[in-house]
Amino acid sequence: MYGRVRTPFGWTSRPETFTIVGVTPADAEPHLVLEEGRILAKKYRLVKPAGFGGMAQLWVAKNESTAAEVCVKVLVPDAADEESVARFRREAFAAARLSHRAIVRVFDLMELGADGQTSKAEKPHALAIVMELLSGETLSDLLMKKGKLPLEEALDLMIPVAGALAHAHRAGVIHRDVKPDNIFLAKDPDGIVIPKVLDFGVSKIASSDTPGLTAAGVMLGTPTFMSPEQAKGAPTVDARSDVFSAGILFYLMLTGTNPFEDASFHAVIEAILEREPAPIPDLPEPVWEVLAKALAKDPAQRWADGTELQIALRKASGRRSTSEASIPIAPRVTSDSELSLPPVGSQTVAPDEEREEIEELPQRRTRAARIVVGAVGVSLAILLAALIRGQIVGPAPEPPSAAATAKAAPEPAPSPAPSPTVVEAIPAPASATASATTTTATATATATATATIATPKRDPVPKKEPKKEPNKDRGSRGEIARDPGF
């Protein structure tokens, strides 16, 4: 059973009665007793209680295999109605399919028996969600201390929350209960604050086999943060309902008051349907225009989803990314080296300026490729021209020298001489020698001019000594002059 309870930030749904797990009557069936040191599913050792979340108990636990600390949220079906069990399963299913740094991570859903171990029974004794362990406070706690936040600090928190809703909307998940209690300001060891969206228990999941929780005329969510269509009990709502709730959340952060707060539940519903929120003094006009559009009564006049809301807030505040915020925000993991993504996808939509830069990347790469191809083509053309020039105008072959000619020519075989004869060398005429010398010089000069390379200096051709004829006197001394061909 859930009853409406008034808090400093409006009416909310709280359980009227609940049973604390571990307190069992003597004659009742055994229940799962949660206590320090208890091991669940042979894996998670309970360290200390961390409070209550609706009908469930929260425990700090330690993974016995990895020594990692986690948060275990345990719901005992015997202590809750069927609707609470369905919402508990829906919370695990919706959060597990989302992967975003501003959404609490869910690792596992366990069905347990009375002994705390995994059960395969049709109706398990207990259900447990294993999620990341967060350290910090809720946005509700922060507003209780400060009352309201400066614009820059409110933007530091609101832009990541809008990004988380954008990711959920792209995955077909509608939260339907956006409020300060469901925004946890997690602080890591370095002091970086990361807003985390919690509790998808009343979420709507598109194309899901999970049975619906909403019937016509039934309101789901926290009244003071409902959209007009939720307040009317519409059986179906879309992402624009979350946009309206996010607008109330942003208004509350800036002013410290809920624009639809009133004395009674019915007055709150009437204010959501009819009252227009008052403008916020000293708020920059672009930011107010974004907020006013988010709080439009007609869904058709609002931002279509969290993506549009996030982009509008960034443009109105002059921010291109959450890293430019005054509070340090953890950098986005990209990857982006890209990690394997869940089926629903986890790519975040960039603002308009970043989208334009992404769209220009292929054009820049195309221009760079054309420049490289052009440079390679010019280089090949120059190289080809050099090769052709070398073939047409190449160095002329040097004329063979007299020594090379003499060596190349075969030496004639000596003819048989009938008798030794003395032959005297007849000198060549002077005119013939001069003519040969002139011809050789002309050919050398022509070859040198054609090749454009100086011809190396040649050694003078050695003169052949005249072959000595056999001495006629040898024959008279009894020596025989043999014929070479003998």
pLDDT digits (tens, 9 = 90+) for 448-470: 444 444 444 555 555 555 555 55
- Residue 239's contacts (CB-CB under 8 Å, 6 or more residues apart) are 165, 169, 174, 304, 305, 306
pTM, full prediction: 0.60
Look at residue 472 and tell me whether its pLDDT is greater than 60. no
Confidence of residue 63 (pLDDT cuts 50, 70, 90): very high
Q: How many domains does the chain have?
A: 1
Confidence of residue 350 (pLDDT cuts 50, 70, 90): very low
Nearest residue to 195 via CA among 146, 167, 161: 161
In what side-by-side order are the strands of the sheet with 39-40? 39-40, 44-53, 56-63, 69-75, 126-132, 106-112
Look at residue 480 and tell me whether its pLDDT is greater than 90. no
433 found inside a domain:
no
For residue 208, the 8-state DSSP code is -
Mean pLDDT of the chain: 73
- Residue 422's contacts (CB-CB under 8 Å, 6 or more residues apart) are 469, 472
User: What's the token pair of residue 221?
Assistant: 């969510």
The pLDDT, as a whole number, for residue 474 is: 47
Look at residue 113 and tell me whether its pLDDT is greater than 60. yes
The CA distance from 89 to 203, in Å, is 11
The pLDDT, as a whole number, for residue 368 is: 80
CA dihedral (37, 38, 40, 44) in degrees, to 10, reads 0
- CATH at 192: 1.10.510.10
The pLDDT, as a whole number, for residue 102 is: 93
Least confident piece of the model among 58-62, 229-233, 341-345 = 341-345
The CA distance from 384 to 435, in Å, is 44
244 found inside a domain:
yes
184 found inside a domain:
yes
The pLDDT, as a whole number, for residue 339 is: 34
414 found inside a domain:
no
Range from 58-62, 213-217, 379-383, 412-416 that averages highest in pLDDT: 58-62
274 found inside a domain:
yes
75 compared with 339, residue with greater pLDDT:
75
State which residues form the domain around 159.
Answer: 2-15+32-334+345-358
Least confident piece of the model among 4-13, 288-297, 309-318 = 4-13
462 compared with 175, residue with greater pLDDT:
175
Mean pLDDT within 13-25: 39
Look at residue 23 and tell me whether its pLDDT is greater than 50. no
318 compared with 391, residue with greater pLDDT:
318
Confidence of residue 19 (pLDDT cuts 50, 70, 90): very low
196 compared with 336, residue with greater pLDDT:
196
Look at residue 124 and tell me whether its pLDDT is greater than 90. no
Mean pLDDT within 373-399: 76
The pLDDT, as a whole number, for residue 294 is: 96
471 found inside a domain:
no
436 found inside a domain:
no
The CA distance from 429 to 408, in Å, is 26
Look at residue 167 and tell me whether its pLDDT is greater than 90. yes
Burial 34-52 (b: 16+ CB within 10 A, else e): beeeeebbebbebbeebee
Query: Which positions are annotated as active-site residues?
Result: 177
Mean pLDDT within 155-177: 93
The pLDDT, as a whole number, for residue 404 is: 52
The CA distance from 253 to 139, in Å, is 9
Range from 84-98, 272-286, 431-445 that averages highest in pLDDT: 272-286
Confidence of residue 377 (pLDDT cuts 50, 70, 90): confident
77 found inside a domain:
yes
